[in-house]
A and B are shown apart, each in its own frame.
Chain A
């Protein structure tokens, strides 16, 4: 069960795992996530599904090591098993033909963005991807994005690859240049907050995939709750994608820090 079929090291802290999970591979759609637990004393953490191969019965996860649990997962090798893996969870991305879609991803958020890019492209949209990272080594999946998008713009903080600047600058350049019908953004909460603020200014409808703290991932605890349009929503069952312009990002960022030491 849940055997790791292959492992690829994207950068020092980011790995890609292909995991045997035939039922999840068959059922998943773009936007879905899984809950993963490693070891008997492991915690349950959410990871968005970056891809799947139904024929091989595998799903792809891209994980950045940021704490104990992600470090444990990143340390696993091909042939190892993930103790518990459950999904697909959440609502799938709502995909339809809308015209031009800008997909903006930062850090490991780029990985779950890939199936969304694929799906919007397949649905007949003009898809422009903005990939952002601190530096060249942290840009992932560029080749895969290029294969599925009409245009890929790479932004790095230090200018070591693509254009120097933040993800928002890349998105703004596109909006100023042509009509954008939808923006989809996945990445660190702060990044999504600023992308959302930008697209709100230009009145471009925007969807953000939220990455809150979760425990069960099935709607039974509310650890993942966020305020959207003034109402409390559970990211794991109502989301993870919401109208970014309705999300209270400041509250969400505050809640993400609940278990950080002062």
Chain B
């Protein structure tokens, strides 16, 4: 395995006669003239009333094949450089163009443990698609994400799921802490290299943020479960309800014979703003709200877990988590749902698609607004909030214009559920339990950026525990990088 470089492989595949013939079958002009496909989606009025139906419906085979024709099969596919796990993008797209959908899925699986997930939740506009040759010609990029999703869904729905090639077992035990995207990506790559992989998960379900965070209407759990089953098929063992650092210590992992440890515990610790009234009941973090609804199925009457339902729901923040929360509140029947964000819409970190979907579903965007206080009733439940209007001042250290309060511009609005979605910090549990790790001031684990190795030589780290709150695909890229580096480290030992 890994005898040829990724670049050589990409070039060799491109040189295959069928690919050459396919390239010649159409002029580039004909390909670039095809308009970019539009995602099929559920009607906004309908979907904002149902909780568990996916908004994006996926492409048909016909749409996918047409979209695949837009790809020019570049000699130097820059799109691949934009993909943190280096999916062989032209290879899988060309398989779609000729109708070999199962082969397209196989190409995806070579480098990605979760293609059906990434095709749905990656911000492709900032990754692969931002590097597509079309964008250099001022045209819309090939819809790589949609095509990835199509191929992965096709394979899953066909029931004929391929298992990637794996090396002979080498008998070396490695541990993964956390079963979110970083951990799953690492686990898949190490299992393919022949390692004996055990993934430890603190919660009762496998998948991390894919299960407790991202809602069903963006990422159905059954899609995640099929990809996790794929990892089980290549030998990855999952141990839920087990907290490394609590249930089993770092020292005990060594006693149990684990030679390498990848820690991907994520950034689960929610930030609060520390303003008056924030501990009133009805004010909660996005993590709590989404965990109740997604992981615990709290809106289902059969579930024992309760969740507070409001008429006027305010979500504080402008990231994807805020969009997931506000759209969830809408689906749970809230009359008025608001995004309250202290900068303007331009600075919002959420994906454009999520913002568009939220607006279509009737979410109000109150930008340049910042909560300063929550007001409650006698029972201590939140009833209202005071909002400070903001304006944009000089750029700050992040390069974005800093929001500053407009003097005297404070108003009071009704809110009976408030969801605070102003970011997350790394959970201190693992840094505390592993003596000798280097930790940044922000609480993240410091790693060598090329290898993801920590100050403890047998411990690697990746995903949000290293980055703070980031994206699924960056976490997966870290997992992939850490797997390659740990493999090299363990082979030298």
Binding site for B on A (CB under 8 A): 23-24, 27, 37, 39, 41-44, 68-69, 72, 83-89, 215-216, 218-223, 225-227, 232, 237, 251, 254-255, 257-259, 262
Contact = CB atoms under 8 A, between A and B. Distances in A.
B429 A232 contact: no
23 contacts: A23-B248, A24-B247, A27-B247, A27-B249, A41-B303, A69-B304, A72-B304, A83-B204, A86-B202, A89-B243, A216-B203, A216-B268, A218-B243, A219-B428, A219-B429, A221-B270, A221-B285, A221-B288, A222-B285, A222-B287, A223-B284, A258-B282, A259-B306
B270 A254 contact: no
A219 B269 contact: yes
Nearest to A220: B268
6 cross-chain pairs, A with B, having the tightest CB-CB distances, nearest first: A254-B380, A220-B268, A258-B281, A221-B288, A43-B304, A43-B305
Interface in B269-298: 269-270, 272, 274, 278-282, 284-285, 287-288, 291-292, 296-297
Contacts of A87: 243, 246-247
B427 A23 contact: no
Given A86-B247, A219-B269, A44 B296 contact: yes
A220 B279 contact: no
A82 to B, nearest CB: 10
Contacts of A218: 202-203, 243, 268, 427, 429
B76 interface: no
Contacts of A84: 204, 240-241
B241 A257 contact: no
Nearest to A256: B281
B284 A222 contact: yes
A220 B380 contact: no
Given A44-B296, A69-B304, A251-B380, A23 B281 contact: no
> By DSSP majority rule, is chain B's interface helix, strand, loop, or mixed?
loop
B203 to A, nearest CB: 7
B204 A86 contact: yes
Interface in B199-244: 202-204, 240-243
Nearest to B269: A219
Interface in B247-274: 247-249, 268-270, 272, 274
A88 B246 contact: yes
A39 B303 CA distance: 10
Contacts of B300: 41
Interface in B314-339: none
A257 B281 contact: yes
A85 B284 contact: no
B264 to A, nearest CB: 14
Contact of B279 (A219, A251, A257, A259): A251
A68 B82 CA distance: 50
B241 A219 contact: no
B86 interface: no
Contacts of A220: 268-270, 287, 291, 427
A255 B279 contact: yes
Contacts of A27: 246-249
Contacts of B303: 41, 43
